Every structure is written in structure tokens, then in C-alpha cells.
């Protein structure tokens, strides 16, 4: 039986889903597979950690001329084991939490350990929910310091969105696990990265957005390589060292549902 699962996306990625650019997402696997190389039998992974389920490791490389792209992945057979332990399965429905806007006010909700007032947002249930593409002209980004009890528009973080306010639903088509640097160009495009067409050039090449630049990087805002674009996106979310860590991720492929009214039985 399928089930509903909450998932958060940035406003930009929500737009990419509506534009049908984004059809998959990568989320860090927790816990990570355990890697061992000293036990007889050669390099291997244990997944889930502590389970005793051992999978032989094999070298993986995208390009022979780039040694930093050489790393170990699991031998065939681990995907079936992952599917048994994964809480997200094909047929499940992801309801998307996103940045939204609600009318409401703030009420006191106890004290902090240091004695300061704690506050809780109280939405006006009679008012509609608005989104980035329909946001109000005037709104508060945080609690109004002088008039917290006054009803007004507030920008609300995606993590505060209740199920009843969700407008976007995605059906899981397929899941797998892999290391983040196993991503292909097609995968990077399916992640919904920014893109633009360079209209000034006769060939009209497509350029992809850069989300993160380290000191010393070129000032360009775009790249011709979709994997470079996704790498910069990953670093902007998980930190500058995250790409080099090359951790295992859950890949979720999905399709947008139209006129969805509840979990299918």
C-alpha cells in the first residue's frame, strides 16, 4: 500500500518541477554504508551498518585521466537489499513542503531555559495560503517586534508547511543509492539545475547556473557543464567539502501528479 511522505524543496526547485525540468532528487543516505578494506576478502561495504550484509566493492571511474574520480562502489546486488530497507518506495506520494505565506499573528508559548519568552505563530485559518509565485506585496519575514498580536502576512519557511497547505504532489517512480559523484550529465539535468540559452551566439548553446564559487574561481555565473552546475548546487547546500566526501545518496525519480486527492490504496 502506498503512503504519503513529506519532502522539502526550495522555491527554485519547485519552479523547476512545474517547468518539468526536475524529475529526480538526491538526498544523503543516513546512515552511510560502512566501508572496510582490512578484513580478508578485499574491499567491501556493510549495509545497513551493523547488519552483517556484506557487499564486495569494485573500483569506479568516470575518467582515467582524473585520478580523483576513482573510488569504490558496491558490486551488483546491493540495490535489491537497499530496496528492502528503504522507507520510500515506488508508488509512494511525496507531498512538497515549500516556502509559503500565511496571514496570522504570534502568541506567547512558555519560556526558554534562560527565561525569555517563547513565541508560536498562529495562522488565520480563514485566509488563503500563498506561494512564491503569488506572494503578497507586503509581508513580514519574522515576528513583528512591536505588534506581534496584529494579524498580517508572514513569510513561512518550508519546514513549517502543514499537509493541508501543500499544492504539489509527486509519485515516486524509482529509487536507488549511489555515490554523489556517480551523477551523469542526464542526471544533473534531471535535478532541475538553472539553464539559459545564449541567444547572442549563432549556435545558441545552453548554459547552466553556478550556485557556489570558491575563492579564486572565475567570476562567471554559468558553465557549459551540467555536472559542474550540480556540483556547485550540492556544495551550496551541504558545504564546500561535501563533493570531495563523495557520500552515498538516495536517488528518487518522480513524476508530478495532477488533480491528486489523497493516497492511493
Q: What is the pLDDT of residues 51-70, one digit of tens each?
A: 777 777 877 766 544 555 56
* Separation between Cα atoms, residue 127 and residue 143, nearest integer Å: 18
* Cβ atoms 74, 47 nearer than 8 A: yes
Give the model's pLDDT for residue 8.
97
State percent of the chain over pLDDT 90: 62
Mean pLDDT of 231-240: 94
pTM confidence score: 0.85
Query: In the structure, what pLDDT confidence band is assigned to residue 98 with cuts at 50, 70 and 90?
Result: very high
Q: What is the mean pLDDT of residues 221-238?
A: 93
Mean pLDDT of 77-93: 80
- What's the whole-number average pLDDT of the chain? 87
- In this structure, the strands spanning 93-97 and 130-131 are unpaired
The residue whose grid cell reads 499573528 is 105
Distance, C-alpha 257 to centroid of its chain: 18
Residue 206: what pLDDT? 85
Q: Is 93 left (phi over 0), alpha (psi -120 to 50) or beta?
A: beta
pLDDT tens-digit map of 158-214: 999 999 999 999 999 999 888 999 999 999 999 999 988 876 665 667 889 999 876
State residue 265's pLDDT score.
42
Q: What is the pLDDT of residue 64?
A: 47
CA neighbor of 94 nearest in space, from 9, 21, 184, 156: 9
Q: For residues 105 and 151, is the Cβ–Cβ distance under 8 A?
A: yes
Amino acid at each position: 500500500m502506498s503512503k504519503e511522505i513529506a519532502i522539502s524543496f526550495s522555491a527554485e526547485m519547485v519552479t523547476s518541477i512545474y517547468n518539468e525540468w526536475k524529475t529526480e532528487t538526491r538526498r544523503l543516505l543516513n546512515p552511510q554504508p560502512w566501508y572496510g578494506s582490512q578484513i580478508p576478502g578485499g574491499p567491501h561495504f556493510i549495509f545497513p551498518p551493523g547488519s552483517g550484509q556484506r557487499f564486495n566493492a569494485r573500483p569506479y571511474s568516470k575518467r582515467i585521466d582524473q585520478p580523483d574520480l576513482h573510488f569504490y562502489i558496491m558490486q551488483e546486488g546491493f540495490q535489491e537489499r537497499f530496496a528492502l530497507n528503504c522507507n520510500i518506495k515506488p508508488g509512494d506520494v511525496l507531498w512538497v513542503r515549500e516556502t509559503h505565506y500565511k496571514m496570522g499573528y504570534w502568541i506567547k508559548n512558555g519560556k526558554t531555559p534562560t527565561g525569555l519568552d517563547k513565541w508560536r505563530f498562529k495562522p488565520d485559518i480563514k485566509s488563503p495560503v500563498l506561494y512564491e509565485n503569488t506572494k503578497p506585496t507586503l509581508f513580514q519575514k519574522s515576528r513583528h517586534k512591536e505588534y506581534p498580536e496584529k494579524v498580517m502576512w508572514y513569510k513561512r519557511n518550508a519546514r513549517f508547511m502543514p499537509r493541508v497547505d501543500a499544492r504539489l504532489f509527486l509519485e515516486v517512480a524509482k529509487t536507488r543509492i549511489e555515490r554523489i559523484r556517480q551523477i551523469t550529465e542526464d542526471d544533473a539535468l534531471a535535478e532541475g539545475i538553472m539553464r539559459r540559452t545564449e541567444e547572442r551566439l549563432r549556435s545558441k548553446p545552453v548554459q547552466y547556473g553556478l550556485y557556489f564559487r570558491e575563492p579564486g574561481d572565475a567570476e562567471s555565473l554559468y558553465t557549459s557543464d551540467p555536472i559542474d552546475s550540480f556540483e556547485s548546487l550540492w556544495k551550496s547546500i551541504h558545504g564546500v567539502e561535501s563533493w570531495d566526501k563523495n557520500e552515498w545518496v538516495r536517488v528518487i525519480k518522480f513524476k508530478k501528479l495532477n488533480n491528486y486527492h489523497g493516497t492511493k490504496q
